[in-house]
Structure 1
Amino acid sequence: MKAKKVARILIVEDDEDDYVIARDCLDVLDNYSFIIDWVSTPDDAITHLKSNVHDICLLDYQLGAYTGLTVLETASDMQCRTPIIMLTGQSDSVLDKAALDAGAVDFVVKSEFDSPRFSRAILYALARHEAEKERLERINIETKIRAKDRFLAHLSHELRTPLTSILGYTELLLENKEVAVGHSELNIILNNSQHLLSLLNDVLDLSKIAANKLELNPTNIYIDSFLTDILTLMQVSAIDKGIDLVISATTKLPERIHSDPTRLRQILINLIHNGIKFTETGGVEVYVSAHQEKTGKVSLEFKVVDTGTGIAQSELDNIFQPFEQVADIISRREIGAGLGLAISSELANKLGGSISVSSVIDEGSCFTLTLNLEVAESVEYFVPSFEQTKYTPNNKEIVSLTGKVLVVDDLLDIRKLVGHLVGSFGLEVDFASNGQEAIDKINLNAQGQAQYDAVIMDIHMPVLDGKKAIVKIRELGFEKPVVALTAATMKGVSDLLKSLGFNYVISKPVDKVLLNKLLAKALAANNPDSAKSISPKSTLATPKDGQRLPEQNILLVEDDYDAAEITKLLLESLNCKVKVAHTAQACLDILPTCAKWHKVLLDLHLPDGHGFELATEINNSFAIDEIVIVSGEEVSLANLQQYGCAKAVLKPLNRDKLTALFAQNLV
């Protein structure tokens, strides 16, 4: 038998006989079991309604010298969410209308208590209340998710910025031949700083993966030095436990592969760390092999074998699930949040591979990471030694460049570091500490040739940040490459920055080899013909063929501050005057301030209401040319028509989508 739903109901009735009748009629309703609170005065009713704990309220119209309308109006003023049904002694259309106008969801004549009309009114009110609770809960969850994303982005920026200095200056010291002492200690600083960066990535990665915002950055990985670095780092933990850690190749391996070194390193460190953690005697061995597949790809296999406690067969299916932990039977020590293997499995899938596991209790475990990779025919195969050597900078891929570069960053340490890297490529360097200073320095001469061949600019700066600065720089006519320097790594950030006018995006901490490659591509070795192919695609230019967009008044309703800021900049580049509202109420407050709004761009999910409900209210109260729904999901034509919206645009917005949106207005 299906269990009944439980609902809490408030009955406001000063006649005990009517209360008893109403209670008895409620008791016979199918599907629901009621917890009933009974009060007889308006003051007691208002006290209960303030708590917002009831699923429905039955309110008598006549309460002594007062009427239930007083209670309704007070409940409405204090934003009570409980549906209220007015109870009347006899049918009265004027009274019924007054009750509905005051906020009642329905009205019932007391003589209908034992009729289907009463049952339907109760069930409909409960259904609407449940739907409203689900809507509010969904909005609350979405708001928390957006707040978490903003926090993670801020956390990433705040931690990556100092790590940029630590890693960068450590590498500079290691490359400096005049620094004869301290190389061993500097290597320790470098390795642990890189590990700290990996830990930061662990904290952020699960959220990125869940939100499909994880981006890969593949580059060449030299197998010998790559695995030697991991061995050097993880041997500290192995030595602390008195066990062995060995990496060996069982076949010849390609000299280099093309993959994401940060993600591959993260997976291997997680697997080796787990092996060390669960091993008290013996050791951990990592076997690496490569096999040619019929498809032409190379299967690269890493087996991480330990002699630890092992894992029960019943637990093997769960260990790759988030927040699942395997009990540390021997040491009983705290073993973390259970994210490492879940992240590793997801990352392996992203890299085009997989992780499998086999284990025997009291004998140990074997985790196998398999990657299917494209390897160039020119790549040589060899058996690496994995010998630990002193740090040697990877200058194999560094090429000399000529030209002048403007480095823009508000932090002196980062400015000097990036400037040193750029200077080491053979480039002349100039500096600016914020976006406005950069604009002042980018002066065009009479021939229209900029004095800088490229600009490297941070995004987050005082006075004028990078996103606003790039818009103004492009408006000046500066067409040379501009590289965005950012600590934000969420998916979509690169596309948004490029839509504003940046040519390339590089994340912090700055990878020297990657920076050299980007600048080489951007400058095209100062070859004018090559440079033309990499110049900006007129990202912020006006529409082509002489078309222009008449000035438009746009109200942008978007609760995500970063998305709102970028969209506002894009709209302004299209000759729009833009006002931004971050809530439904702010939208309603701003609308009367302009006599003519050409478009309202309306997010569907706002912290204080749904976009469609707001669209209805806007159409009822204001004359708007078009309401455009902006959503991360497909919106049906039927819904657009039902709520008076002209069209819908999918997130994320970029300049092409906005240009298409205004295409009918081009003259």
Structure 2
Amino acid sequence: MEVKSARILFVEDDEDDYILTVEQLEKLDNYHFEIDWVTTRDEALHKLQCNEHDICLLDHQLGAYTGLDVLHQANELGSHVPIIMLTGQPDEELDKLALDGGAADFLSKGEISDARFARAIRYAISRVEVQKARQQSIDAQTESRSKDRFIAHLSHELRTPLTSILGYAELLINSDKANQAHEELSAILNNGNHLLSLLNDILDLSKIAAGKLQLKSESVMFSSFIGDILTLMYVPAASKGLALHCECINRIPKNIITDPTRLRQVIINLMYNAIKFTQKGSVTLKIEYDQITSPELLKISVSDTGVGIPKKDLDSIFTPFQQLEKVAMKGEAGSGLGLAISNELIRRMDGEISVESEVNKGSTFTVILPLAPSCRSDLESLEIGISDIQPKQEYAPLQGSVLVVDDLKDIRQLVGGMCRSYGLNVSYAKNGQQAVTIIESGEHNIDLVIMDIHMPVMDGKQAIVNIRKQGFAKPIFALTAARMKGSDKELKQLGFNNVISKPVRQTELYDQLADSLARQKQENNNHSYHVPERLSNHVLIVEDDKDAAELIVLLLQSLKINAEAVLNYQSGLQKLSNNNNYTHVFVDKNLPDGDGLELIKQIEALCPDPIDISLVSGEEVDSDTAAKYGINRSLLKPINLEQLRSIFSSTKHKEI
């Protein structure tokens, strides 16, 4: 049985009574007492004020003073120690006065040898334990709330300057102002994005620790999901001359139920680490599914031929902030959080992650996930061909304007970056509906469209039907990983001119674009159709950080959008009071003289016509808050050009 310990303050000026009481305390089973003995009122008050004891046994008669005097003064001094009053003779009136004064109990010294004394001691100790547990819970909750507030504040304070750093770098790279500093600006942009990824890692880990990270499961087309990941990983692998392989053992589920964002985060982290720590050889993504022996499990593994991990370090690599000493000395960038976050995410998906490794031969990380019963019967063969890594090539410049449509930002940026490297102008849309709107507007004079097939809101198949109905006869390429038998024929029957496989290879994409644009120019096959005139936009930005506000104005102006900024709540209110012609308002959540959410309420009251409102914040805003305040969207800092382009390509507003 567990032995409980307690520290007792015994206030007694009679040594015989002290000895008798200690003997009784020692007879209590399963208790160990540390006893501090004092004989005067002043000593007692000094000890009680320190709140270092679990119980105080207090004699009622202390020379010229009484225990009641000590009891009252102890309360005034802020003592929280439970006090059991002891007296030579039973006295009901004194008993009442002691209990009214805050004593935990009142006993006569003649009862010390009785069971009542033992019960009083046990009760007092139990009450102390309950109070300690309650206080620990309160302290933990307070600490958690303080930590959450700190993390939210840190997120806001870091994301605001990152908005300026990344935004201005991107703006200058895409302009003619700093052609000679393109390499230096790219370094700023790349390192700024790396800093942002570290910040996101820290925030993810804090959410996991606080139990606030929520998974959003949905049905995911697995072939497209894997193809997107390979498309992203092909570029860093190619830059190091590594072969990238994808193997599928047996037929695999056509769809899986998972949180695609978080599972993608895990696999990309494992593949990125494999590429980072492999200098020559290959990286392999393997998907295994055994419908006979393990139909409830899906296995995904990432193998490399890299440096490997010593056995002594295998148990610690999933611990936050742990990096191998050898790796740290080589200066490999990273926070040491990626594997810890991946481990926690997979655990919350009811799966498990493991590693096998041998120094100088490579590592294999394996993720095993439960597979929903509904996904176990619809299987398909998946073959994703990845060509050999090709050396970097110089491309003859192409002329024209390309629209890249994909729901994943990373894929949009990757394919768009390839197109820009060929000399093409690039516009973006994140779903089929936005693509339809952009084509209909005629603003960008699109010469060719590269469109993903599997997207939310409106997929590529629905989008091309709507685009062709508008009379758009220029080339449209399908972007897909799921090239099954007969799929190319089906896509071309819908109106696609060509099909680009994921992962996207730069040379293959260039050849397809060059051929299509050359034929288009030669045939002069530009069908005319009516395009409604683009309506104007007038934007107000309410942002207290001057650099960030000026940057958003410049980014909008680069999109030929009229924009102005104010730096606080009252100025925003005054602007809106004097002018109801704004079509968009961007409001920072944290303003120096007011709450951004309250300003949004005022905007709705001041503007009789519907107005598009975007909340800009350094922390995520939940959907309930957005709905409550009438927010059209919530933007997480730092704001970039693509976010703004996406907003204004997908909405129409009144002419001013």
Q: TM-score, normalised by structure 2?
A: 0.65
**Alpha-carbon distance in structure 1 between the residues aligned to 2:323 and 2:141:** 32
**Cα distance, 1:380–1:185 mapped onto 2, change above 3 Å:** farther
Post-superposition offset of 1:465: 3.5
- Provide the alpha-carbon RMSD of the alignment: 4.2
Secondary structure at 1:366 match in 2? strand
**Cα distance, 1:349–1:231 mapped onto 2, change above 3 Å:** farther
**Alpha-carbon distance in structure 1 between the residues aligned to 2:307 and 2:383:** 36
Secondary structure at 2:594 match in 1? coil
**Cα distance, 1:178–1:288 mapped onto 2, change above 3 Å:** farther
Residues 271 and 302, structure 2, Cα contact 8 Å, conserved in 1: no
**Alpha-carbon distance in structure 1 between the residues aligned to 2:112 and 2:350:** 65
Point out the structure with max Rg over C-alpha: 2
**Alpha-carbon distance in structure 1 between the residues aligned to 2:540 and 2:584:** 7
**Cα distance, 1:147–1:229 mapped onto 2, change above 3 Å:** farther
Matched residue, 1:482: 613
**Cα distance, 1:171–1:230 mapped onto 2, change above 3 Å:** farther
Letter matched to residue 495 of structure 1: D
1:427 aligns with 2:561: yes
Matched residue, 2:509: none
Give deviations 1:165-196, integer Å, cap 9, x for gaps: 11111111221145322222222222111111
Letter matched to residue 282 of structure 2: E
Secondary structure at 1:181 match in 2? helix
**Cα distance, 1:272–1:226 mapped onto 2, change above 3 Å:** closer
Residues 542 and 569, structure 2, Cα contact 8 Å, conserved in 1: yes
Indicate the larger mover: 123-132 or 427-436: 427-436
Secondary structure at 1:37 match in 2? strand
**Cα distance, 1:332–1:53 mapped onto 2, change above 3 Å:** farther
Residues 233 and 268, structure 2, Cα contact 8 Å, conserved in 1: no
Which runs of 5 or more residues in structure 2 are unaligned? 249-255, 292-297, 394-413, 421-425, 430-434, 444-533
**Cα distance, 1:119–1:293 mapped onto 2, change above 3 Å:** closer
**Cα distance, 1:290–1:437 mapped onto 2, change above 3 Å:** farther
**Cα distance, 1:146–1:189 mapped onto 2, change above 3 Å:** same
**Alpha-carbon distance in structure 1 between the residues aligned to 2:263 and 2:185:** 24
Secondary structure at 1:90 match in 2? coil
Matched residue, 2:653: 526
Indicate the larger mover: 463-472 or 502-511: 463-472
Matched residue, 2:242: 246
Post-superposition offset of 1:216: 7.9
1:513 aligns with 2:545: no
Secondary structure at 1:153 match in 2? helix
Give deviations 1:536-584, integer Å, cap 9, x for gaps: xxxxxxxxxxxxxxxxxxxxxxxxxxxxxxxxxxxxxxxxxxxxxxxxx
Secondary structure at 1:457 match in 2? strand
Post-superposition offset of 1:246: 2.1
1:163 aligns with 2:162: yes
**Alpha-carbon distance in structure 1 between the residues aligned to 2:352 and 2:4:** 45
**Cα distance, 1:416–1:323 mapped onto 2, change above 3 Å:** closer
**Alpha-carbon distance in structure 1 between the residues aligned to 2:353 and 2:281:** 17
**Alpha-carbon distance in structure 1 between the residues aligned to 2:335 and 2:27:** 49
1:35 aligns with 2:34: yes
Post-superposition offset of 1:99: 0.7
**Alpha-carbon distance in structure 1 between the residues aligned to 2:356 and 2:303:** 11
Give deviations 1:465-486, integer Å, cap 9, x for gaps: 4122112222324532211011
Give deviations 1:330-377, integer Å, cap 9, x for gaps: 999999986431212334567998744332456331124689999xx9
Post-superposition offset of 1:517: 3.2
Post-superposition offset of 1:23: 0.6
Letter matched to residue 346 of structure 1: E
Matched residue, 1:440: 574
Residues 55 and 125, structure 2, Cα contact 8 Å, conserved in 1: yes
Matched residue, 1:495: 624
Post-superposition offset of 1:247: 5.1
**Cα distance, 1:517–1:370 mapped onto 2, change above 3 Å:** farther
2:590 corresponds, among 453, 460, 466, to 460
**Cα distance, 1:88–1:354 mapped onto 2, change above 3 Å:** closer
Post-superposition offset of 1:325: 5.0
Matched residue, 1:84: 83
Q: TM-score, normalised by structure 1?
A: 0.64
Give deviations 1:122-150, integer Å, cap 9, x for gaps: 10001001111111111111111111111
**Alpha-carbon distance in structure 1 between the residues aligned to 2:75 and 2:274:** 58
Matched residue, 1:322: 319
| Mapping of residues 176-195 of structure 1, within 5 Å | 176-195=175-194
Residues 319 and 325, structure 1, Cα contact 8 Å, conserved in 2: yes
1:357 aligns with 2:488: no
**Alpha-carbon distance in structure 1 between the residues aligned to 2:593 and 2:323:** 51
Matched residue, 1:341: 339
What fraction of aligned residue pairs are identical, expressed as a percent?
38
1:473 corresponds, among 593, 597, 603, to 603
Post-superposition offset of 1:249: 3.9
Matched residue, 1:94: 93
Matched residue, 2:232: 226
**Cα distance, 1:138–1:384 mapped onto 2, change above 3 Å:** farther
Matched residue, 2:460: none
Give deviations 1:67-102, integer Å, cap 9, x for gaps: 011111111112212110000111212111111121
Residues 542 and 587, structure 2, Cα contact 8 Å, conserved in 1: yes
**Cα distance, 1:518–1:92 mapped onto 2, change above 3 Å:** farther
Matched residue, 2:427: 395
Secondary structure at 1:176 match in 2? coil
**Alpha-carbon distance in structure 2 between the residues aligned to 1:425 and 1:259:** 34
Residues 271 and 341, structure 1, Cα contact 8 Å, conserved in 2: no
Residues 482 and 502, structure 1, Cα contact 8 Å, conserved in 2: yes
**Alpha-carbon distance in structure 2 between the residues aligned to 1:443 and 1:292:** 62
Give deviations 1:22-61, integer Å, cap 9, x for gaps: 1111010111011111111101111111221111010011
**Alpha-carbon distance in structure 1 between the residues aligned to 2:350 and 2:556:** 34
Matched residue, 2:144: 145
Residues 60 and 86, structure 2, Cα contact 8 Å, conserved in 1: yes
**Alpha-carbon distance in structure 1 between the residues aligned to 2:310 and 2:107:** 64
1:305 aligns with 2:439: no
**Alpha-carbon distance in structure 2 between the residues aligned to 1:175 and 1:348:** 39
**Alpha-carbon distance in structure 2 between the residues aligned to 1:330 and 1:417:** 38
Residues 274 and 302, structure 2, Cα contact 8 Å, conserved in 1: no
1:268 aligns with 2:265: no
**Alpha-carbon distance in structure 1 between the residues aligned to 2:261 and 2:163:** 17
Secondary structure at 1:395 match in 2? strand
Secondary structure at 1:11 match in 2? strand
Matched residue, 1:624: none
| Mapping of residues 272-287 of structure 1, within 5 Å | 272-273=272-273, 276=276, 283=280, 285-287=282-284
**Alpha-carbon distance in structure 1 between the residues aligned to 2:545 and 2:166:** 15
Secondary structure at 1:108 match in 2? strand
**Cα distance, 1:365–1:424 mapped onto 2, change above 3 Å:** same
Secondary structure at 1:484 match in 2? strand
**Alpha-carbon distance in structure 1 between the residues aligned to 2:237 and 2:142:** 43
Q: Would you say how many aligned residue pairs link Structure 1 and Structure 2?
A: 494
**Cα distance, 1:461–1:212 mapped onto 2, change above 3 Å:** same
Residues 216 and 260, structure 1, Cα contact 8 Å, conserved in 2: no
Instruction: Tell me: higher relative CO, structure 1 or 2? Use CA pairs within 8 A at least 6 residues apart.
Output: 2
Matched residue, 1:115: 114
